[in-house]
Each structure stands twice: as C-alpha cells, then as structure tokens.
C-alpha cells in the first residue's frame, strides 16, 4: 500500500513539474537570452608606465559595485604618481562570468594597448617591482612569454620593463 502511495505521489510530482516547466525555464526558445542581465560597476584602470606604483598595478582591473566583493572604489589618486582612472561601466552577466570587460583598450605610455598586451605588461611590471631576487633582467623576462606581445609593441614593452628593472636596481 505504501509503495502504491509513493508511486502515486511521484507521478503527481512529475506531472506538476511537467506543467510548470514553462514557468521554471521561461523563454528558453526565445532568441534573446533572458538570463543575461546588465550589471553596473566601476572598473579601475591604471596607466601603464615604467614608474607606475605597485598599488596602482595591483588594483588595475578591479571592479567595484553592488554585485561585486568590493562595493566602493578607493579615493584616487592611490599615491604619488598614480594615474588610475575609474570608469563606470555596464557589464552583461556574461562578461562577469567569463571575466571579459567592455573596456577593450588600455592606456599606457606606449599608447593604447590591447587587453592582452596590457595584462602581460602589467604582470611583468608587477614581477619587477615586487620580486627582487632575480640576478638579471634576462632571467626575469625569461619567465614571461614575451612573444605573446603584439609585434608593434613587443620591443617597446620590453624596453619599458628594462627601464623599470634598472630603476629597482638603482634603489
């Protein structure tokens, strides 16, 4: 008798889910995806140069807003020499999940860089400024895939990194 009761409940439940599925998964067949929402946020972008302060390099790309871990952006400038900019943006939820940004250009002393070039340059500068155990610039730069730089910025980006390296050595 109990088994029959469980079976009846299961059938009723399945029927209920089947009738409700169009409400639970609304508009799955619609062309526009209803799950994509826009999210307002402020993104910090630092100006990349050989003398960009570490705190600025570290905060580059951080997003602030209601939906983010950090709610309010810091007061700018961070410190002497800071050339960071806070830009108000509208992300799609897709941007947030995939880590993409509506900002596709990055300001630097080399002109406007692509996101990829800017990220690589930032990581090299951060390594130079936060890690002083390397004997030579050649050892340090070997840790990075400098071939990933675009052809038009590669040599200038490496020169900038070398300038930053020499600066840390002279201190």
Q: For the segment 61-80, give every residue that binds Zn ion (CB under 5 A).
A: 78
Query: Which residue, 42 or 82, has its beta carbon nearer to Zn ion?
Result: 82
Query: Which residue, 52 or 101, has its beta carbon nearer to Zn ion?
Result: 52
The least CB distance from residue 78 to Zn ion, in Å, is 3
Q: Does 125 bind Zn ion (CB under 5 A)?
A: no
Interacting span for Zn ion (CB under 5 A) from 51-59, 104-112, 132-140, 151-159: 51-59
Q: Which of 42, 54, 82, 109 binds Zn ion (CB under 5 A)?
A: 82
The least CB distance from residue 101 to Zn ion, in Å, is 18
The least CB distance from residue 20 to Zn ion, in Å, is 51
Q: Which residues, in sequence order, are bridge partners of residue 43? A: 63, 87
Candidates 39, 53, 149, 158; CA nearest to 94 is 39
Query: Which residue, 84 or 118, has its beta carbon nearer to Zn ion?
Result: 84
What is the dihedral angle through the alpha carbons of 69, 75, 76, 77, rounded to the nearest 10 degrees? -120
d(CA 75, CA 73): 7
Name the phi and psi angles at 168, rounded to 5: -70, -30
Which H helix or E strand runs over 19? helix 2-24
Q: Does 54 bind Zn ion (CB under 5 A)?
A: no
Which residues lie closer than 8 Å to 150 by C-beta, 6 or more apart? 114, 116, 117
Residue ranges in contact with Zn ion by CB under 5 A: 56, 78, 82, 84
């Amino acid at each position: 008798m109990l088994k029959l009761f469980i079976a009846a409940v299961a059938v009723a439940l399945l029927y209920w889910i089947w009738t409700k599925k169009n409400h639970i998964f609304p508009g799955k067949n619609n062309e526009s995806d209803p799950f994509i929402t826009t999210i307002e946020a402020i993104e910090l972008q630092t100006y990349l140069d050989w003398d960009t302060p570490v705190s600025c390099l570290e905060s580059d790309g951080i997003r602030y807003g209601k939906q983010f871990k950090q709610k309010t952006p810091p007061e700018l400038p961070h410190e002497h020499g800071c050339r960071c900019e806070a830009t108000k943006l509208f992300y799609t939820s897709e941007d947030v999940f995939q880590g993409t940004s509506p900002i596709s250009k990055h300001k630097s002393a080399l002109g406007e860089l692509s996101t990829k070039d800017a990220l690589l340059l930032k990581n090299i500068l951060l390594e130079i400024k936060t890690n002083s155990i390397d004997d030579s610039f050649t050892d340090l730069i070997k840790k990075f895939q400098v071939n990933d730089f675009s052809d038009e910025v590669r040599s200038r980006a490496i020169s900038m990194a070398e300038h930053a390296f020499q600066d840390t050595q002279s201190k």
